[in-house]
Amino acid sequence: MNAASIGASLREIDDLPSPRGLPLLGNLHQLPPATHHLTLERWAAELGTPYVFRFGPTPVTVWSDIELSHAVMRERPHRYRRYAPIENILKEFGCNGLFSIEGAAWEPQRRLVMQALSIPHIKAFYPTLAAITERLRRRWEAVAREGRVVDMTEDLKRFTVDVTSALAFGEDPNTLENEHVLIQEQLALLLPMLMSRVNAPFAYWHYVKFPRDRRFDEAMTAVHRHIRELMARTRARMREEAAIEACETPLAENARAPRNLLEAMLAMRDAPDSGITDDEVAANVLTMLVAGEETTATSIAWALLFLGSDDALYARVADSARRVLDESAVCPSYGAMRELDLCEAVCTEASRLHPVAPYLSFEPLEEVRLQGVRLPIGTKIFMLHRPAMMDPKNYADPERYDPDRWLHAHRQESGAHEPRAYLQFGAGPRVCPGRHLAAVEMRLVVSMLTANFTAQLATNRADIHEVCAFTTVPSQMPMRLSLR
């Protein structure tokens, strides 16, 4: 059954329940950017789904059925596309890469990224991953010895920027040890500005720039300059190595294969009649940096909310990690890393309760009928994630934080468990290509932290709130670390 045939009786969008709004504004005044996802979820609980709200004059339909979400995602990119304003604004940012690009350009870029983030590639990259994790450990050791409170979200973003850069581009900016490397601070501005402009009632920045817009423009200019310099260095290195190899091994079939994503993209770009531009390569570099930084760091940060306020759980995770790490400060091998299931489970369960992606947004490329509702081409569709993850039919005792529900050994004991309801990495052809890398990073960081430090929240847990800046991040995550 495809998504267009779900449901029988036909309704129009205007027949759906809707929160009361205002003329012209619709429900815009009821959706504060930082917490609008919570309002959408509250309306879903009050009105049921599907419902419709109005973003100014534009109707947006909201859904929470997990089977429908899977059906729509299976039919991307041919029947549905991502919410068009996202692609339009990312084009302005010079960041319309694999995450947002649509149409025929998506498939060849997808193949390249999947290869760069494949399990064999990450396994070969593991020593570098472990070295960057050791760098984070040294940073936290210094903080613990000085008795300072550490901003965990900030440090985790530095860690993921270093990992993504080293893996995908062959250069490590070492933001963990170099406080004045600005790339991480500049990247941090992108997703909040994307959220702001996607939700703006009109494109005011085309006519007037406020101080925030000017700061953002300056940051993006610097980021793109960094990316172009990175591309130039990589090209020069590739030419130099190709010349050496041509002298030593003149047969073309013995030419060295690309070692990372950037080399592969540049080789494809520079091939005759490729049809790919430097701008498209740069957009994918920026996409990888932003996606690699934000989502994984945030998933780990949400896990710290629970680890840092539950001594018994922390001790259990620490014991589990120490058994695997033995005398090592960081997990010593890829094979050993695979035994750290509990370290990944604490992150997965945290992002079930605090979804990093609270919803996904789509538009049909043709008229469709979903659950008996006729949706014309271009209708805005929001698919909420949390309602399904908090449904007792999908997860037993869903309000409870229970990492064991994700462990195979405890699966039968935990009651209802529907993995399909967990959509933090998406589904279908455009499922997140970085999900395995994210799992490895979670296991490495949580095992390193718990095996080497005790950690407690340095603020009241009730003072930590969800802030939606395209992804849902914690408002703060200060922790006090002590050496074990």
Residue stretches of the annotated binding site for heme? 432
Nearest-angstrom CA–CA distance, 284 and 95: 7
With residue 364 as reference, give the H or E element that holds it: strand 359-364
CA atoms within 13 A on the CB side of 127: 1
Residue ranges and CATH numbers for the domains of the chain are 3-483 (1.10.630.10)
Identity at 273, one-letter amino acid code:
D
Tokens of 125: 């990259």
CA atoms within 13 A on the CB side of 291: 24
Identify the residue whose tokens are 């200060």.
478
Cite the DSSP H helix spans in 79-151. Answer: 84-93, 106-116, 119-146
Instruction: Show pLDDT as tens, one digit a residue, over the chain (484 residues).
Output: 444 444 457 999 999 999 999 998 899 899 998 999 999 999 999 999 999 999 888 999 999 999 999 999 999 878 998 888 888 888 888 887 766 666 666 666 676 677 667 888 888 889 999 999 999 999 999 999 999 999 999 999 999 989 988 888 888 888 888 877 677 788 888 888 888 888 787 899 999 999 999 999 999 999 899 889 989 999 998 888 888 877 776 554 555 677 787 888 888 888 887 777 888 888 888 888 777 677 899 999 999 999 999 999 999 999 999 999 999 999 999 999 999 999 999 999 999 999 999 999 999 999 999 999 999 999 999 999 999 999 999 999 999 999 999 998 666 666 889 999 998 888 877 777 788 889 999 999 999 999 999 999 999 999 999 999 878 999 999 999 999 8
Could you count the other beta carbons within 10 Å of the beta carbon of residue 461? 11
Buried b (16+ CB within 10 A) or exposed e, 258-275: bbbbbbbbbbbbeeeeee
Nearest-angstrom CA–CA distance, 463 and 106: 41
Residue stretches of the annotated binding site? 432
pLDDT score, position 415: 80
Do residues 198 and 288 lie in contact, with contact meaning Cβ atoms separated by under 8 Å?
no
pLDDT score, position 261: 78
Do residues 190 and 288 lie in contact, with contact meaning Cβ atoms separated by under 8 Å?
no
Handedness of CA 143, 147, 151, 152 (dihedral sign): positive
Digit-coded pLDDT (tens) for 175-232: 888 877 677 788 888 888 888 888 787 899 999 999 999 999 999 999 899 889 989 9
